[in-house]
Amino acid sequence: MPRLLRRSFATLLVIGLVATACGNAKSSTSSTTSAKGAAVPTDGGAANRNVHKPINGVPGVTDDTISYTIVGTKSNNPLGICILDCYAAGVKAYFAWRNSQGGIYGRKLTVGDVVDDQLGQNQQDALAIVSGNKAFGTMQASLLPQGWGDLDKAGVPTYGWGVDAGAAANRMSVFPSTVLQCIDCTRRTLPYAAMKMGAKKAGVLGYSTSQTSKVCADSDADSFKLYAKNTGVQLAFLKDDLPYGLPNGLGPEVTAMKKAGVDFIATCFDLNAMKTLAQELKRQGMDHVVLFHSDSYDQAAVAATDGLFDGGLVQVQFRPLEAEAGKSTLNEFKTWIAKENAQPTELAMTGWINASVAYEGLLAAGPQFDRAKVIAATNAMTHDSAGGLVAPINWTTAHKTYTNATRAGVQDSECSTVVKVVDGKFEMFGSAAKPWFCWNNNSTKWSLPVATDFD
């Protein structure tokens, strides 16, 4: 449903920068999967969760277990954040929680192999999963998910970190944690946030090195321009052709924004570049400017900046840890990730969310399940919120992309969650009980958001 989330463009940028350096890079063209046309099972649901039936010939399934392979980036990770280990902890935590309740269909959910794709070997690892035929499905936290097409063609249920919209699009066996159907769409989150912070003039920064970052910056700028009369926030500065890594710093750009009276800046930068920006703002006496971060939801990293990000806003791709749990599984996540001796990071939450979708697909498929039934049953789900941790996804339409030009009539919503940095810590920006700001996307007409909760 809510497919206009501001995605982690900094991560997508890295993908764009390194993809051409990997010899096994492939197009993300859509493919026909083995699950296409499969009948949706009718015996699924909680009532049959404890029904055990013999299953033969299904990869990764024994009388006692259902096994998944985890693949993710650890070696050669250009982001410098914990990816594979933190993600795997989230998957294992979710499985441990469900297994403590008796598992599903008389079987335990288990993790088999945990594979480091070393950034450029995702396709090789995917082909090994297909040929090895020993995992029921796969969980993927890969920066370059080049093997998703092969997994899709083979009909392997694939649950992944949603950092590459192209790799997931039109692939019915692939279920990303964050579905992004429109990367160039205008949206109301940024202008609304700027208005709420009392801003009057906005600046937007992006990289030239990647078309993804440029599209991000340009759509941000278009959003400010589209809603300027409604919010009172004018676009005063746009620079979408900065070199990756900011080798020359941001002195001239900050000087220009200072001259233009900019008091709110949105960027398509990674966390390190945001630090460079914040330092330059402080140097030029502009540390009162509000920064809107798309990729800085990292408590340890933010705390280490000694207040440099204080007063800024950070968009989060799931129910923030600072929100109230309500009827969601947020408290279960915190409890079980602690039992894994792991931290409740973004990647840990992503692993938990992916594992949740896998479990719900199994539950919907019924006790006589196989890969095709699980894929078909998942693709029939119209309100999948991963236990209230993401805005509900309609998997019957979520695999299809659209553009700002073709968005008219799309049955979709724009929902975002935002936190504020206060004294080096995150606090909710808005309601802790209803953490999502949501707009109906049937129209781009301005309106105030509806505070929303999902369970």
The DSSP string of 239-306 is EEEEPTT-TT-SHHHHHHHHHHT--EEEE---HHHHHHHHHHHHHTT-TTSEEEESS---HHHHHTTT
How confident is the model at residue 14, as a pLDDT?
Answer: 55
Distance, CA of 214 to CA of 205 (rounded, Å): 9
> Any idea where the domains of the chain sit in the sequence?
31-178+326-401, 189-316+412-452
Distance, CA of 223 to CA of 226 (rounded, Å): 5
3-class state of residue 359 by DSSP: helix
Distance, CA of 5 to CA of 271 (rounded, Å): 18
Other beta carbons within 10 angstroms of residue 424's beta carbon come to 15
Q: What is the mean pLDDT of residues 356-365?
A: 98
Token match 């001259």: residue?
259
How confident is the model at residue 441, as a pLDDT?
Answer: 76
DSSP structural state of residue 48: G
DSSP structural state of residue 50: T
* % residues pLDDT > 90 (the chain): 76
**Residue 158 near residue 278 (C-beta atoms within 8 A):** no
Predicted confidence (pLDDT) per residue in 54-104, tens digit: 999 999 999 999 999 999 999 999 887 899 999 999 999 999 999 999 999
pLDDT at residue 27 greater than cutoff 80:
no
pLDDT at residue 8 greater than cutoff 60:
no
Identify the band that residue 16 occupies on the pLDDT scale cut at 50, 70 and 90.
Answer: low
pLDDT at residue 209 greater than cutoff 80:
no
User: What residues have CB less than 8 Å from 125, skipping those under 6 apart?
Assistant: 71, 115, 117, 147
Kindly list the strands in the beta sheet with 158-160, ordered across the sheet, starting from the edge strand earlier in the chain: 108-116, 65-72, 137-141, 158-160, 174-176
Q: What are phi and psi of 318, to 5 degrees?
A: -150, 180
Other beta carbons within 10 angstroms of residue 253's beta carbon come to 20
Identify the band that residue 439 occupies on the pLDDT scale cut at 50, 70 and 90.
Answer: very high
Mean pLDDT score of the chain, rounded to an integer?
Answer: 90
Q: What is the mean pLDDT of residues 104-128?
A: 97
Class of domain 189-316+412-452: alpha beta
pLDDT at residue 24 greater than cutoff 50:
no
pLDDT at residue 135 greater than cutoff 80:
yes
3-class state of residue 139 by DSSP: strand
Q: What is the mean pLDDT of residues 207-225?
A: 88
Q: Which of 58-72, 84-98, 164-178, 415-429 has the lowest mean pLDDT?
A: 164-178
How confident is the model at residue 11, as a pLDDT?
Answer: 59
Paired residues of 114 in beta bridges: 70
Domains 31-178+326-401 and 189-316+412-452 equal at CATH topology level: yes
Token match 């030029």: residue?
284
Q: Which of 104-113, 145-154, 339-348, 408-417 has the lowest mean pLDDT?
A: 408-417
Identify the band that residue 41 occupies on the pLDDT scale cut at 50, 70 and 90.
Answer: low
How far from 184 is each of 217, 220, 227, 269, CA to CA, in Å?
9, 9, 16, 16
Q: Which helix (H) or strand (E) holds 349?
A: helix 346-365
What's the CATH number of domain 31-178+326-401, 3.20.20.80, 3.40.718.10, 3.40.50.2300, 3.40.50.300?
Answer: 3.40.50.2300
Q: Report strand pairing: 234-242 vs 174-176.
A: unpaired
Identify the band that residue 165 occupies on the pLDDT scale cut at 50, 70 and 90.
Answer: confident
Higher pLDDT among residues 364 and 37, named by residue: 364
How confident is the model at residue 282, as a pLDDT?
Answer: 97
Distance, CA of 443 to CA of 413 (rounded, Å): 10
User: What residues have CB less than 8 Å from 217, skipping those under 6 apart?
Assistant: 204, 205, 206, 207, 238, 239, 240, 267, 268
How confident is the model at residue 34, as a pLDDT?
Answer: 38
Distance, CA of 209 to CA of 222 (rounded, Å): 20
User: What residues have CB less than 8 Å from 293, skipping those under 6 apart?
Assistant: 267, 271, 274, 309, 312, 313, 314, 315
How confident is the model at residue 35, as a pLDDT?
Answer: 43
pLDDT at residue 31 greater than cutoff 90:
no
**DSSP count for the chain of H helices, then E strands:** 14, 14
- Whole-model pTM: value is 0.91
Identify the band that residue 170 occupies on the pLDDT scale cut at 50, 70 and 90.
Answer: very high
Predicted confidence (pLDDT) per residue in 398-407, tens digit: 999 888 888 8
Other beta carbons within 10 angstroms of residue 371's beta carbon come to 22
Q: Which two tokens stand for residue 230?
A: 């409604």
Distance, CA of 154 to CA of 172 (rounded, Å): 11
